[in-house]
Chains A and B, each alone.
Chain A
Amino acid sequence: MMQSKRIAFWSVAPLVAFVLIGFLLQWMASQGIGFFDWWFFSEVAATGLLVGVRYSLVALGFVLIFKASGVFNFAQGSMVLFAALTFVGLLGFGVPIWLSFPITLVVMWLLAVVIERVVLRPLVNQEHIILFMATIGVFYLLEGGGQLMWGSQVQTLDIGLPHGRIQLFGGNIQLQEFEIVTAGIAGLLVAVLAVFFNKTRVGRALRAVADDHQAALSVGIPLKAIWVIVWTVAGVVALVAGITWGTDLGVQPTLSLVALKALPVLILGGFTSIPGAIIGGLIIGCGEQVGEVFFGSLVGGAIQDWFAYMLALVFLLFRPQGLFGERIIERV
């Protein structure tokens, strides 16, 4: 299918599924299982979509690095935590927001440079699995390092994001202002990155590098500079994700595990696709919320720990390359 047709299809199909699930839940409620109300269902789903946008953002960080260097950056999660910790730490020292933000950005850039020089460059010709394991090492380094520098207590993050609720449809659907605003920020960033990647010259260079390192080198694309750019962008993404999740949950070590949730998003959307990360994030976010609220209560709760992963697993059985990923044809 052509790319745009595919995007259209996978935007509509979940809506259909959503309605079908609604009917299923309605039937279950009529049999005495659980509670169902269309407004409530829509509210939960809408909240899920908003959360999903934030998942998409983290997933995008993975996709960018994977597209540009073929490295699956397991450390993305700890980058989120590290960025959030640095930001909160600076705020704690009394540095105003408009200064903390760029300082943290610089820190993330420095981190990108260090990672590229110390970890990526020596491992340039190794198989992907080795690079992946190296990023697990980086994950641990950042986990330990971040907490050593800034402490590991839960810290509240308040940069003035709204905390009220807004009412839609005459009070039938209540949504958190916070969710809407953060979804907006995330969505904006996703759109910017998508445009950057597809329309600008640097974006084209990134795509070239993702396709073939050697070929990119031979046309004069500076590989190392590209990698620094990509990891810095991923760092920016991590910072925004860190701020949004951090305000929601507080800045604490479990933040890196939240970022791990982006992995099922990638499975669904394909590791190399930006629209895939977006739509995958929305599906996962919505599915998780609906699952937790309507099914989770039936089995003791807390199923959001594994629901996203199981969903991804089922997907893997039927469509291993994800919704938008490229089917790998192995040439013999």
Chain B
Amino acid sequence: MDAATPAALSDATLPPARTFGPPLLSVDNISLSFGGVKALTNISFNILEHEIRAIIGPNGAGKTSMLNVINGFYHPQEGTITWQGKVRKQMRPHQAAVQGIARTFQNVALFKGMSTLDNIMTGRLLKMHNVRAPETGVFGLDHLLRYGSAALDFALQCLYWGPNLKEEIRQREFCEQIIDFLEIQTIRKTPVGKLPYGLQKRVELARALAMEPKLLLLDEPMAGMNVEEKEDMCRFILDVNDEFGTTIALIEHDMGVVMDISDRVVVLDYGRKLADGSPDEVRADQGVIDAYLGVAH
């Protein structure tokens, strides 16, 4: 065979096409207002399982409000949210966490009084149990079992040594895997308040990952980072999506990042949806160019 003929390239050597599952989350006709201010007007889009979805738009477009709605912080006046095929009732943020939605914030929302490791271990809270209540399906009995096991769980925590310590160590091992994955071993015990901004963002990502989320919402994860840090963060995001299959929705201003790593893009402006499609489609959309992208450099 000739070395340089295109025929040498067969399907087997190309990376497999990315496959996505059914829509994990879809928002339909969401409208949100605060008093007289309309933050979101009639927004509809979906996020497929295993994809990386970018939400972009100028400042004030309503991107963070959209994430807050998905999280359960804000309750939209109109519209529905469908999660894993089922329409979701109005819910509180901790219920969203139970469903499997994790989030990072624009202004890093770490627990400043605790160390890196403690922050990540706190992220594991929903997955840590000393005692698991069996589900019997009988209504009253289930409640009783739940309270009883909560009480037993508490008593074991008071004792610390024994089953509680085993559980702590098991969870610590899991968190250490995340620490290795994000390369933050050296700052394990440092109080997060002392860390530089870039590392804080990474710790926040670690804490979100500790929740083993189905959907990870990232609010400007690259804000305030230099090129090298951005490349690191991109690599981490892609690895998370690759290895754990986590669906990711991210808000980002850096167009290079958005075009490179996202599968599909939603563009918001003044609370309305401007465009929705693959990065190339969105880049070519005239409305988006006029509102947001401007002239290509």
Direct A–B contact present (CB less than 8 angstroms): yes
Chain A residues closer than 8 Å to B109, beta-carbon distance = 332
Docked complex: A311-332 residues within 8 A CB-CB of B: 329, 332
Docked complex: B154-196 residues within 8 A CB-CB of A: none
- Contact indicator B105/A329 (Cβ below 8 Å): no
- Contact indicator B34/A332 (Cβ below 8 Å): no
Contact with A along B227-263 (1 / 0, CB 8 A): 0000000000000000000000000000000000000
CA separation between A329 and B65, bound complex, in Å? 13
Residue numbers of B with Cβ under 8 A of A are 34, 64, 68, 73, 105, 109
- Contact indicator B64/A329 (Cβ below 8 Å): no
Chain B residues closer than 8 Å to A329, beta-carbon distance = 34
CA separation between A329 and B68, bound complex, in Å? 13
- CB-nearest residue of chain A relative to B103? A332
The minimal Cβ–Cβ distance linking B91 to chain A, given in whole angstroms, is 16
CA separation between A332 and B39, bound complex, in Å? 14
CA separation between A332 and B64, bound complex, in Å? 8
6 residue pairs A–B, Cβ–Cβ below 8 Å: A329-B34, A332-B64, A332-B68, A332-B73, A332-B105, A332-B109
The minimal Cβ–Cβ distance linking B240 to chain A, given in whole angstroms, is 22
- CB-nearest residue of chain B relative to A329? B34
- CB-nearest residue of chain A relative to B64? A332
Chain B residues closer than 8 Å to A332, beta-carbon distance = 64, 68, 73, 105, 109
- CB-nearest residue of chain B relative to A330? B73
- CB-nearest residue of chain A relative to B65? A332
CA separation between A329 and B39, bound complex, in Å? 15
- CB-nearest residue of chain A relative to B67? A332
The minimal Cβ–Cβ distance linking B94 to chain A, given in whole angstroms, is 14
Chain A residues closer than 8 Å to B64, beta-carbon distance = 332
CA separation between A75 and B34, bound complex, in Å? 37
CA separation between A332 and B107, bound complex, in Å? 8
CA separation between A332 and B105, bound complex, in Å? 8
The minimal Cβ–Cβ distance linking B124 to chain A, given in whole angstroms, is 22
- CB-nearest residue of chain A relative to B107? A332
- CB-nearest residue of chain A relative to B219? A332
Docked complex: A192-235 residues within 8 A CB-CB of B: none
Closest 3 CB pairs of A and B: A332-B73, A332-B68, A332-B105
CA separation between A109 and B105, bound complex, in Å? 45
CA separation between A329 and B34, bound complex, in Å? 10
Chain A residues closer than 8 Å to B68, beta-carbon distance = 332
- CB-nearest residue of chain A relative to B93? A332
The minimal Cβ–Cβ distance linking B18 to chain A, given in whole angstroms, is 31
CA separation between A35 and B34, bound complex, in Å? 51
Docked complex: A39-53 residues within 8 A CB-CB of B: none
The minimal Cβ–Cβ distance linking A2 to chain B, given in whole angstroms, is 13
The minimal Cβ–Cβ distance linking A125 to chain B, given in whole angstroms, is 14
The minimal Cβ–Cβ distance linking B131 to chain A, given in whole angstroms, is 33
Docked complex: A9-40 residues within 8 A CB-CB of B: none
CA separation between A332 and B70, bound complex, in Å? 13
The minimal Cβ–Cβ distance linking A3 to chain B, given in whole angstroms, is 15
The minimal Cβ–Cβ distance linking A1 to chain B, given in whole angstroms, is 13
- CB-nearest residue of chain A relative to B106? A332
The minimal Cβ–Cβ distance linking B161 to chain A, given in whole angstroms, is 35
The minimal Cβ–Cβ distance linking A127 to chain B, given in whole angstroms, is 11
Chain A residues closer than 8 Å to B73, beta-carbon distance = 332
CA separation between A328 and B64, bound complex, in Å? 19
The minimal Cβ–Cβ distance linking B3 to chain A, given in whole angstroms, is 57
The minimal Cβ–Cβ distance linking B178 to chain A, given in whole angstroms, is 24
Chain A residues closer than 8 Å to B105, beta-carbon distance = 332
The minimal Cβ–Cβ distance linking A56 to chain B, given in whole angstroms, is 30
- CB-nearest residue of chain A relative to B34? A329
CA separation between A123 and B2, bound complex, in Å? 77
- CB-nearest residue of chain A relative to B71? A332
CA separation between A298 and B143, bound complex, in Å? 42
CA separation between A329 and B75, bound complex, in Å? 13
CA separation between A80 and B217, bound complex, in Å? 53
